[in-house]
Amino acid sequence: MHKKLLPSMMSLQCFESTARHASFTLAARELNLTQSAVSKQVAQLEQMLQRRLFNRLRGGLQLTAVGELYLSEVGKILSQTDISTRFILTFDGQAETLRIATQPTFGSRWLIPRLPAFSAAYPHVRLSVRNELEPFDLLQAKADVAFFYGRGTWPGAQCVELFREDVVPVCAPALLLHRPLKAIDDIHSHTLLQCVSRPEAWHDWLGAQAMTSRNSYRGPQFDTFDLCIRAAIAGLGVALVPRFMVTEELQRGALLIPLHYYAPSPDAHYVAYATQSHDSPKIRNFVDWVCEQTP
């Protein structure tokens, strides 16, 4: 078996700090070490790697090409070590942690408002929620359950359908003061806001009404529905969003639905968990609870 090349954490910290400051002196000050100690740690690292990480110049230090490459890797190691350490510091041995992955707007507008009820029913379960914009491998990812929108297939996972949605066009009332939107043909004169995760949304919505528009794929693009909604409130254009995501804005008049055509979606919202986790009480209880929250 080959001997593992495991440099000390101190040498990695000294290298990263020196690279960031381009100075042994400033790195030593940051790490509360002597300049010679920092220099020695970096030299030992270079000896292990058999590569120079810095060019020693009169004006200071400059990373070599190898140094630049190694710095990106070391940065990841130090960042993950920090995250893992902070996680352990907050760990409660009496609690079970349930790791939840969700798309950002679904999480903020549908899931999170309901979570207090789950926490009240299962106070021993500690929730850890994070955003996921893209699909990922549920078996390899650090998540116990995941919410997603699609056709209900996920390799190695059990997918439970929660609900389907209607998408509707919404805009700020002030947007219509000078440009009406009373008929479907009026859509041509408006900016159509685009959500990156649903690039075909406007094309499909118009197509369902036997319409096409040169603007179907044009307009400002946003990563999430939440950003689209905020752009619509600001008067940037018309957004096409799931109705359940804008209930509050419609009620308080920040947005209105100018064209009342509700396009049913062929896809649905799902909660998924790894098949091998079916017998986990915390996952089973959470999935059962989530299903009770749907119409």
Digit-coded pLDDT (tens) for 4-20: 778 999 999 999 999 99
Which CATH number characterizes residue 17's domain? 1.10.10.10
In a domain, 175, yes or no: yes
- Give the three-class secondary structure for 40: helix
One domain for residues 110 and 170: no
Paired residues of 157 in beta bridges: 274
In a domain, 65, yes or no: yes
One domain for residues 67 and 196: no
Q: Is residue 92 scored above 60 in pLDDT?
A: no
Least confident of 56-70, 91-105, 151-165, 188-202: 91-105
Among 66, 89, 112, give the residue marking a domain's end: 89
One domain for residues 42 and 58: yes
Tell me if 271 sits within 8 A of 290, measured CB to CB. Answer: yes
In a domain, 4, yes or no: no
Structure tokens given for 154:
């996920």
Element (H, E) at 273: strand 268-274
Q: Is residue 89 scored above 70 in pLDDT?
A: no
Element (H, E) at 200: none
The Cα–Cα gap between 74 and 79 comes to 8
In a domain, 2, yes or no: no
In a domain, 50, yes or no: yes
Q: What is the reported pLDDT for 179?
A: 87
In a domain, 3, yes or no: no
Q: Is residue 45 scored above 70 in pLDDT?
A: yes
Q: Is residue 168 scored above 90 in pLDDT?
A: yes
One domain for residues 144 and 175: no
One domain for residues 281 and 158: yes
Q: What is the reported pLDDT for 261?
A: 83
Which CATH number characterizes residue 136's domain? 3.40.190.10
- State in Å, rounded, how far the first CA of the chain is from the last one: 58
One domain for residues 158 and 272: yes
Write out the residue range of the structural domain in which residue 43 sits.
9-89
- pLDDT tens digits for 217-263? 889 999 999 999 999 999 999 999 999 999 999 999 999 999 988 77
pLDDT band with cut points at 50, 70 and 90 for residue 91: low
Instruction: Quote the number of domains for the chain.
Output: 3
One domain for residues 115 and 243: no
Q: Is residue 94 scored above 50 in pLDDT?
A: no
The Cα–Cα gap between 176 and 60 comes to 60
Calculate the alpha carbon distances from 103 to 4, 98, 121, 130, 131 in Å.
Answer: 39, 17, 24, 8, 5
In a domain, 193, yes or no: yes
Among 65, 89, 113, give the residue marking a domain's end: 89
One domain for residues 70 and 213: no
- Give the three-class secondary structure for 97: strand
In a domain, 1, yes or no: no
Q: What is the reported pLDDT for 80?
A: 87
Phi, psi angle pair for 67, to nearest 5° = -60, -40
One domain for residues 110 and 251: no
Q: What percent of the chain has pLDDT over 90?
A: 60
One domain for residues 112 and 49: no
Average pLDDT for the chain: 88
